[in-house]
Structure 1
């Protein structure tokens, strides 16, 4: 059995400090930094250049590191996957703790990028596994479903305090539209799970547990894609349910 590599194997680190429009990139062992546009083409050019440098100087296995930044890191993850590069997506809380451990109180994009690169040298960092197209679609649909539920709750709260007929009519129309959207989104989620053999199999197993229905199963599949591939202890830790001494 071939075990996936961990960060213990990597000598060449390409770290990204991510923002909406720009990426600050720090590389090790060169200890070099540059800024590029946060776009697929710019990221691909940079990673391709790093691959050529790696090959020319024999730097060994290359690891791409970035923080989870509300989806703005997607170009880094996508392009690294297309180039078949190992990637670690770091949690911001861990990199902040790493900075505190190293006595770094100042916070700028340049400082953060270098810290993320040094963090990438940490042994045994888990590698990012890109979701399947079905998994990615399910997560987006489930997030939209949750947003609609939240908007419905807000409109219901507003209805309780509305006194003008015009406002009541507006709120009623919007609630009707949201309810129709919710029904359509939930039907699309059910259809997606039904037509995916892997998601359907997992949903069936999850729903076999007493008290769990299709909506909860869809949430677990959307937000906990690791389920079925980790031990129960590992899954509990990811969910924040594992008791810590």
Structure 2
């Protein structure tokens, strides 16, 4: 019986460094279309059980999507997770060749993980990629406007007209960006977007982020969706010590959006307001109560996405 093959691919802007667990030597492929096609043909011959790539700012997507489309099993993992695994294996140095070897070893471990499906999921299709790009660009514009406004007050009088012109330009770009996002959502997600907008505290910008960055919405149970976003409390226990529960990891952009929506919801959403106030009266710190409200809000919108219904406060009182 031939040995099971696992593949690690270290991605850069120009090359793909490929390591296979059953082969002694790595090889390189170019990250353009012809190079990726040659890589696919070679890996199809090897028939690996799992291929792991590290998320590298989008450079990994074309290779991962093409490999997956060819019927190969692909996981794109968080860079921090891959680096932590390498350190745990004693690999403190960092080179493309070594990183590819570590990713191949990581693939073997992930294949035995009890929640293997968390790491191996279909990549975004062209429509979702477009929405993600539009949402990302909107976020960048908001950040640039904030940065320019922060420069305005301490700036010399001679520089202020320039800063104001840049802010005005960026505001116009943001308006155009909002229109593009809204048009895309209306064309591809109108029914779900309308249902989510019925929840007090959830606005158009929040809906766009949820649709773009959390496509699993409505497809997972409440515990798994909370863990995915990073609002599930994590134990910190050892022996007789019981540490404080904390949240960590998850999808930062979704969590930030959920946080801002919750700040509004605990004031204007009757269910979330009552829930938040009840926790405060029970002696919970405001930050703890707010995180709990975030988790409840996520549970509500996950249920709405799952069942395709509009907001009804009677369904969510608990």
* Range into which the TM-score falls when normalised by the shorter chain: 0.7 to 0.9
Give the secondary-structure state (helix, strand or coil) at the position aligned to 2:18: strand
Residue matched to 2:315: none
Give the secondary-structure state (helix, strand or coil) at the position aligned to 1:118: helix
The Cα of 1:200 is off from its aligned counterpart by 2.2
Quick check: 209-218 or 181-190, which moved more? Answer: 209-218
Which of 201, 225, 246 aligns to 1:235? It is 225
Which structure 2 segments of 5+ residues have no match? 236-318
Q: How many residues align?
A: 227
What are the equivalent positions in structure 2 for 1:30-49 lying under 5 Å apart? 30-49=23-42
Find the aligned partners of 2:22 and 2:229 in 1 and give their Cα distance.
Answer: 35
Give the secondary-structure state (helix, strand or coil) at the position aligned to 1:65: strand
Indicate yes or no: 2:167 matched with 1:180: no
Residue matched to 2:93: 106
Find the aligned partners of 1:101 and 1:156 in 2 and give their Cα distance.
Answer: 44
Residue matched to 1:75: 62
The Cα of 1:26 is off from its aligned counterpart by 0.3
Find the aligned partners of 2:11 and 2:40 in 1 and give their Cα distance.
Answer: 15
- Inter-CA distance 31–230: structure 2 relative to 1 (3 Å threshold): farther
Which structure 1 segments of 5+ residues have no match? 1-9, 55-60
The Cα of 1:53 is off from its aligned counterpart by 4.0
Residue matched to 2:277: none
Larger RCO of the pair (alpha carbons < 8 Å, separation 6+):
1
Give the secondary-structure state (helix, strand or coil) at the position aligned to 1:129: coil
Quick check: 91-100 or 68-77, which moved more? Answer: 91-100
Find the aligned partners of 1:75 and 1:67 in 2 and give their Cα distance.
Answer: 13
Residue matched to 1:171: 163
CA displacement, residues 80-113 of structure 1 (integer Å, 9 cap, x when unaligned): 1332322111122222232233233232221211
Find the aligned partners of 1:70 and 1:241 in 2 and give their Cα distance.
Answer: 24
Q: What TM-score do you get using the length of structure 1 for normalisation? A: 0.85
Q: What TM-score do you get using the length of structure 2 for normalisation? A: 0.67
Indicate yes or no: 2:195 matched with 1:205: yes
Residue matched to 2:151: 158
Quick check: 183-192 or 90-99, which moved more? Answer: 90-99
Find the aligned partners of 1:11 and 1:184 in 2 and give their Cα distance.
Answer: 51
Which of 92, 96, 102 aligns to 2:83? It is 96
